[in-house]
Chains A and B, each alone.
Chain A
Amino acid sequence: MSEVEEIMKRILSHKGVEGVIIANTEGIILRSTLEDQSTVHHVALVQPLLMKAKKIVQDMDPEDELTYVRLRTEKNEEIIAADKDYFMISIQTPSL
């Protein structure tokens, strides 16, 4: 198994994690554990949010940079880790 798969598997093994999506900054999906339709939908919606968040951080403090964005809803939490070229979305259902 390639390294990428190993890392994804490790992340998936955490408590409550429902899915992982990896894409590049242009929105092209590279890896995903969810099915196609919802992955495409997800990335299309999250990507502009990510760009906006990056811009906010850069504008506020040019020396600072975005590490990750967390989106918490009633049902689950998404941790979006971003980089210059790629980003990864992990969807977790917090246990309450």
Chain B
Amino acid sequence: MREHFLLRTLKMFADEALDPVTVASVWRKAQQGAQQSRGCQTPAVLSDHAGVQTRFTASSSTQTEPQEQNLQEGGLGGPDPPGLVDFLKRVEDTVTKELEKNSRSHAFDGYHANWEEGSDHVSLLHSLQHPGAEESGLHVSAVSWSCTGSVIVCAYGRTDDGDWTHQKSCVCLWNLDRRSLRPKQADLVLEVPAAVTSVCCHPERPALIAGGLYNGEVVVWDTSRTQDPVLAQTGMSADSHREPVYQVVWVPLQKKGDFGVLSSSSGGEVLLWLVDPDQGRLVLNAAYAFVRQQLPHSSSLKSRGSSRVGVSALALSPWDADSFLVGSEGGLLLRCSFSCGPPAAVAPEGRSVAPRAPARFCFRPAGGPVHSLHCSPFHRNLFISAGTDGEVRLGSLLQADPLLAVRVSDSYVFQAQWSPSRPLVFAAATGQGEVQIFDLARKSLRPAATIRDGAADRTATCLAFNGADRRLLAAGRSDGTVGVWRLSSDLTEQRAEESLRLEQIANQVAE
């Protein structure tokens, strides 16, 4: 019994192996939707061919004929429409009255409408700079326009102090008509071994430029030559100037079309050079020396210092090929003649041509050195002179005293030039940095326009009107910039009766 009980309990604790139980996922089946598959297909497109043919053709054309104007000429022709006669009767009286008034009216005398686009003000077109010159601290000493009016030539040098004989400088050209004009970079730069004091473009050949240097040389450049633009120069010969050249001008010679270079220097001589391109030299043709003792009526002059008269300004007369005007460092204004004159009372100094004394007439002296002279292109007797006394004097060749003195500025006036388009307008470059433009047609003597560009401590050293495009004015300054300005139309367009007014001014006798 007991073994039975033991076996039975042992059986209760025997190892049992159970089979694994799997529980099927009910969730998945519930999520799956019912799936069905279908198919579709388009039926085939039916196509068929058919042909068309014209059976018969016919053509016709149309044309319009010009219609004849049904016009009745001057009295002949159709019946008068009703009411025409009444209309005319009514209107005739008023029209007749107006016609008569018109024939006597002076309402529109001298009135000219100006429909062209004129500008009212002066505007700066370009401001040209040459970085190389600016770095060396050079001023613009002269500007000149080419005869075509499209190229501006700027010369760099110093205008205030002297003895820069070893300063290298340059002459820069800008072509303003080019679209790719770069104001900071010149189109052509001519290197020059000394400071340039004056340039002048040839009146007929746009490639030739004459320049005067601080060391007394005169150079002619030909910008059409690529190799070496120097066409001719005086070199340091016995003929050339010993003192700085103040001004160079192209002078028409006897033979039409020939030009010589006239140069003036502070050594008291004015020399006329001919260009010899083959030898690359300027050949001295005539020399004129100014000695105080030989000047006409020198009683009012104080004879101080040397007897030499340093020529600081030169002007040619466009009316009289024989005469030219000279202004000196001492303030003298002289009218001189090319052709006749006694020999000058100077030591020969080894010149190849004996100098003559050309002075014919002495005007009333200015208060200080004369910097600039210009003859009027519109009147044969008028000229303006500008100097350090701050005045621009309008003088006549026929009398010693000036006709008019216009106070331009409180400091020096470096250059004065007549406008090429309006007889009564002139411009002056002042030491205060402004270019003042005066119009003598106005009643008051205040400037008609003032061109101020930048700081007031920069002097305006030179200016030039463009002969071809009369509205442009170039002004150079002591900071090395050249401004090209377009003037307003009232400063450039000539008005009626200006020449008459100029004539009146010229005929005034100074009190």
Contact mask B46-81 → A, CB, 8 Å, 1/0?
000000000000000000000001011111000011
Cα–Cα distance between A58 and B99 once the two chains are bound (Å) = 26
- Contact indicator A68/B74 (Cβ below 8 Å): no
CB-CB under 8 A for A86 and B102, given A10-B96, A81-B95: no
Task: From A17, A32, A74, A92, give the contact of B113 (CB < 8 A).
Answer: A74
| CB-CB under 8 A for A31 and B75, given A3-B88, A4-B84, A24-B81 | yes
A30 interface residue (CB < 8 Å to B): yes
Q: Which residues of A contact B (CB under 8 A)?
A: 1-5, 7-8, 10-11, 14-17, 22, 24, 29-33, 36, 39-40, 67-68, 70, 72, 74, 77, 79, 81, 83, 85-86, 88, 90, 92, 94-96
**A94 adjacent to B98 (CB under 8 Å):** no
- In the complex, the answer to whether B83 meets A7 with C-beta atoms within 8 Å is no
Q: Which of B73, B84, B94, B99 contacts A22 (CB 8 A)?
A: B84
A2 CA / B100 CA spacing, docked (Å): 24
B74 contacts A11, C-beta separation under 8 Å: no
**B105 in contact with A94 (CB, 8 Å):** yes
Q: When the two chains form their complex, are residues A79 and B113 in contact, meaning their CB atoms are under 8 A apart?
A: no
- In the A-B complex, list the 9 residue pairs whose CB atoms are closest, starting with the nearest: A81-B91, A15-B103, A14-B99, A5-B75, A86-B87, A7-B88, A83-B87, A3-B85, A81-B95
On B, residues with C-beta under 8 Å from A are 69, 71-75, 80-81, 83-85, 87-92, 94-96, 98-100, 102-103, 105, 108-109, 112-113
Chain A residue nearest in CB terms to B75: A5
- How many Å from the CB of A88 to the closest CB on chain B? 6
* Given A22-B88, A88-B88, A92-B103, A68-B98 contact (CB < 8 Å): yes
- Minimum distance in angstroms from B75 CB to a CB of chain A: 5
Q: Cβ of B80: which chain A residues have Cβ within 8 Å of it?
A: 2, 4, 30
Sample 21 A-B pairs with CB under 8 A, ordered by A number: A1-B75, A2-B75, A2-B80, A4-B88, A8-B75, A10-B96, A11-B92, A15-B100, A30-B84, A32-B71, A32-B74, A33-B74, A36-B69, A74-B112, A74-B113, A81-B95, A83-B90, A86-B84, A86-B87, A88-B91, A92-B102
Q: What is the CA–CA distance of A7 and B90 in the complex, to the nearest angstrom?
A: 11
| Most A-side CB within 10 Å, residue of B96, B109, B112 | B96
- In the assembled complex, which residues on chain B have CB atoms less than 8 Å from the CB atom of A29? 71-72
